[in-house]
């Protein structure tokens, strides 16, 4: 019994410590850098199926979009804009994966509303987003919204909207991270980046 109590206390301290370490503001995050690997973590698909980022990345080089949630109009505009270049991205041998703290049910709503063809995944508890170094403490007035949209799993964090391009091992080849959530990487520039990376990969082979 004593061991169980000690373990419970230890886990509680670790959980509190991880949350306490979150930056107070978006501008204070410390994201992973180009050349580093995005973390391997479990995510949920819209149908609730548990998937691992390691397996997702291994399928193809990936464009990984991290967005705040389907409740964010700036995120929805960006998701729709990226949808317009999906065919070109696929032709270059890449896939598009989008990740947010939204619950699987809310992912489905976003997919239908924005008519998205690429895959959306739920990181409601933020393990992936926090490990990537792009999470910060959400303002207090977001608490009830984030709790509702994550089915109670979001402990009060928001991701800084980010775009990563990674190889099949998850190694970051390009990233765009801006603390100003209104400022997004244009689809045109993203396509240019992926095209350049594809040409480099072709040359190396």
CA dihedral 204, 171, 47, 88 (to 10 degrees): -40
Name which residue leads in pLDDT, 12 or 117.
117
Kindly report the average pLDDT of the chain as a whole number.
91
Reply yes or no on whether the pLDDT at 7 is more than 90. no
Q: What ranges in 1-158 are assigned the alpha helix state H? A: 2-20, 53-59, 73-83, 86-91, 104-114, 127-131, 143-149
Mean pLDDT for the stretch of residues 187-198: 98
- Residue 94's pLDDT band (cuts 50, 70, 90): very high
Mean pLDDT of 78-89: 98
Q: Map out the domains of the chain with their CATH numbers.
A: 23-204 (3.40.30.10)
Selected residue with higher pLDDT from 11 and 24? 24
pLDDT of 202 reads 87
Q: What distance in Å separates the CA atoms of residue 99 and residue 115, rounded to the nearest whole number?
A: 16
User: Which tens digit of pLDDT belongs to each residue from 105-142?
Assistant: 999 999 999 999 999 999 999 999 999 999 999 999 99
| Per-residue confidence (pLDDT) for residue 106, from 0 to 100 | 97
The two tokens of residue 78 are 């960006």
pLDDT at 11: 38
Contacts 24+ apart (CB under 8 A), 34-38: 34/172, 34/173, 34/174, 34/175, 35/171, 35/172, 36/171, 36/172, 37/166, 37/169, 37/170, 37/171, 37/172, 38/64, 38/128, 38/132, 38/164, 38/166, 38/170, 38/172
pLDDT given for residue 60 in this prediction: 96
Q: Which of 8-17, 73-82, 191-200 has the lowest mean pLDDT?
A: 8-17
Q: Is the pLDDT of residue 9 over 80?
A: no
Query: With pLDDT > 70 as the criterion, what percentage of the chain qualifies?
Result: 90
């Amino acid at each position: 019994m004593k061991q169980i109590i000690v373990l419970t206390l230890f886990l509680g301290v670790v959980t509190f410590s991880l949350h306490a370490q979150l930056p107070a503001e978006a501008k204070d995050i410390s994201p992973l850098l180009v050349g580093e690997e995005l973390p391997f973590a479990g995510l949920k698909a819209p149908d609730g199926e548990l998937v691992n980022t390691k397996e997702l990345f291994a399928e193809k080089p990936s464009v990984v979009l991290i967005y705040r949630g389907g409740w964010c109009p700036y995120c929805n505009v960006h998701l729709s804009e990226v949808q317009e270049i999906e065919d070109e991205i696929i032709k270059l041998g890449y896939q598009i994966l989008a990740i947010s703290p939204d619950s699987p049910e809310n992912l489905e709503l976003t997919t239908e509303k924005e008519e998205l063809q690429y895959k959306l995944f739920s990181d409601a508890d933020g393990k992936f987003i926090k490990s990537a170094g792009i999470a910060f403490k959400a303002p207090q007035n977001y608490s009830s919204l984030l709790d509702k949209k994550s089915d109670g799993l979001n402990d009060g964090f928001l991701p800084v909207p980010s775009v990563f391009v990674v190889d099949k091992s998850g190694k970051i080849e390009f990233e765009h991270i801006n603390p100003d959530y209104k400022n997004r990487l244009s689809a045109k520039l993203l396509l240019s980046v992926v095209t350049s990376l594809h040409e480099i990969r072709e040359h190396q082979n």
